[in-house]
Chain A
Amino acid sequence: MKLIQESSKTKIVNNLIVGMLAVYGISQKQFNLSEPSLFHQVVTEVISPVQEGLANSKKSLSSLWDNYLSIVNTSKENNVLKKQISRLESDLTSMEEMRKENLRLKRLLTFTDEQPYNKIMAQVVGWDSSNEFKVIRLNKGTKHGIRTMAPVVTDHGLVGYVYRTTENYSDVLTILDQNNRVDIVVERTRTHGIVEGVFNFKCALKYITRNEPVEVGDKLITAGVGGIYPKGLKVGMITDITKENFGMTLSIEVVPSVDFDKLEEVLVLTPLDSGKSASLLPTQSPVIEEKKI
């Protein structure tokens, strides 16, 4: 009886200690900027190469599924022939992939000429494993010149900003994430607003008053205020506008310019003068200060 009571006491004490640690951890947590601990940096450096390897083997995985598994039950001769065809198809697919990759990289390079920044090309190697956060992991880090708060783009438009970084890897808070807020301008009307991530790979445009003449199809670009994103980057397009019977603002749905389903390579923008980079990038943007969490 005494033993059971002691065990019960230990349970309560452990629950309380871990619970208090968790509450402290939650109170310290910021969802829009993070400085990784040494432990996190070391383990990320160990695990991320595995992620990178798996991300790179995407083509092989698809090829394996399409070209190999589908012919398991055919005759031996057919197997040999089909394997040959599969190999050829796979080669063709690889070549086609290389061609597409070349095109993408060319477009990225053309795009980079327009931006007065150092451009660091990086590959997407993973996504956040939680549902509520839309974060991607890149295969470049501080060693390659990437700093936190650096904007991340593709030739299609804005992806997000660097949330945290280790020596060789960086996590990017995409514009799909509810904790990322982007100051934008409606290209046609020059109306200012804020885009933030919502569910289902879409964003919402906030703080547009009911009398603003915005329309479905209007394009949104970065406003250049807030200290993170340069002015004029494509953000998305208005796809739905709802006028509620109440409230002062419109309820607007935005589809991002970047197709996040097909995101493979991105550019991280850092200021041209690396010596000035630290001072040019503020530690916290006004937008973030506005809603500090």
Chain B
Amino acid sequence: MKMRLSQLLASFAITLALLTILEVVTATVLPALGWYEYRLTFNVLIIIFLAIRLDSPIVPWMVMSLQVVHSLFSVEGWALGTFAGLIVMTSANYLKEVLHLTSALITMLTVQLFQLIWYVTVTMIICLKISNFDKFGMIMWSFIPGSILLSMISPLLFWTMEKIWRVPSEGGPRGVEI
């Protein structure tokens, strides 16, 4: 299924708006309600969706734009997540023949797998930057509870994203080609 440029821009604009709302929820609403310890990194979930479900040469630029939005709410910056996003995209590309998100459980497991790839990449880069690999386990562990929660809500978010990107739910792993 091909996608027109106008449709692509509209879908991408909605995705950016959705990410902004979700980042505000994570950075302000949840802490205001007493949820301090773990963050729900929705940018990771959205980028995993794009990596798995879209087949387009411009996805790397989309990943970068999403990370720029994320950097407004986090000192992490855009570069770290962009790099991790590219690694996730490349992994998804290699696994595309076996990725079929046919049920909520499979979606959760797949998302958890890609989150692990993401967090291993990010943790390794942070450890390299701070020249301290002793913290690898600690940083990695800090991601796990949030990532499990994210995996649990991933079917709902993927369903929403499928509507935004007009990807058929049962259309296989690479639902849309731009």
CB distance from B19 to the nearest CB of A (A): 10
Is the C-beta of B89 less than 8 angstroms from some C-beta in chain A?
A: yes
> From A177, which residue of chain B is reached at the shortest CB distance?
B75
Interface of B is mostly: helix
Bound CA span A24–B23, Å: 25
Does A126 have its Cβ within 8 Å of any Cβ on chain B?
A: yes
Cβ of A61 to closest chain B Cβ, rounded Å: 6
Tell me if A242 is interfacial: C-beta within 8 Å of chain B: no
Once the chains bind, are B131 and A291 in contact (CB under 8 Å)? yes
Q: Separation in Å of the A43 CB from the closest CB of chain B?
A: 5
Contact (A171, B75) CB under 8 Å given A15-B89, A22-B64, A291-B131:
yes
Interface residues of B in 126-164 (CB under 8 A from A): 126, 129-131, 135, 138-139, 141-143, 146
Is there contact, CB below 8 Å, between A21 and B82?
Answer: yes
Contact present for B20 and A178 (CB under 8 Å): no
**What residues of chain A lie closer than 8 Å to B72, measured between beta carbons?**
40, 43-44, 47
Residue B31 CB within 8 A of the other chain: yes
| B27 adjacent to A127 (CB under 8 Å) | yes
B122 contacts A by Cβ under 8 Å: yes
Q: Could you tell me how many residues of chain A have their Cβ less than 8 Å away from some Cβ of chain B? A: 56
The interface residues of chain A lying within 8 Å CB-to-CB of B83 are 19, 22-23, 26
- B172 interfacial contact with A, CB 8 Å: no
Whether B57 lies near A22 (C-beta < 8 A) is no
Inter-subunit contact B79/A131 (CB<8 Å)? no
Query: Separation in Å of the B15 CB from the closest CB of chain A?
Result: 16
- Quick one: given A131-B41, A132-B126, are A22 and B74 in contact (CB under 8 Å)? no
Interface residue tally of chain B, by bracket? 35 or more
A57 to B76, CA, bound (A): 27
- B75 near A260 (CB under 8 angstroms)? no
Q: Name the B residues within 8 Å of A34 (CB-CB).
A: 75
Q: Mark A31-60, 1 if CB is under 8 A from B, else 0.
A: 100100000100110010011001101100
A-binding residues in B (CB < 8 A): 20, 23-24, 26-29, 31-34, 36-39, 41, 43, 56-61, 63-64, 70-80, 82-83, 86, 89-90, 122-123, 125-126, 129-131, 135, 138-139, 141-143, 146
28 A–B contacts, CB within 8 A, in A order? A7-B57, A14-B57, A14-B61, A15-B89, A15-B90, A18-B61, A18-B64, A19-B60, A22-B79, A40-B71, A50-B28, A58-B32, A125-B28, A126-B31, A127-B28, A128-B75, A129-B41, A129-B74, A130-B41, A131-B143, A132-B122, A132-B139, A171-B75, A199-B139, A199-B141, A260-B36, A261-B34, A261-B36
Inter-chain pairs besides A44-B72, A61-B32, A129-B41, 12 sampled, C-beta below 8 Å: A18-B63, A22-B82, A51-B28, A54-B29, A125-B28, A127-B39, A128-B39, A128-B73, A131-B142, A135-B74, A178-B135, A198-B138
| Shortest beta-carbon contacts, A-B, top 3 | A25-B79, A18-B60, A10-B57
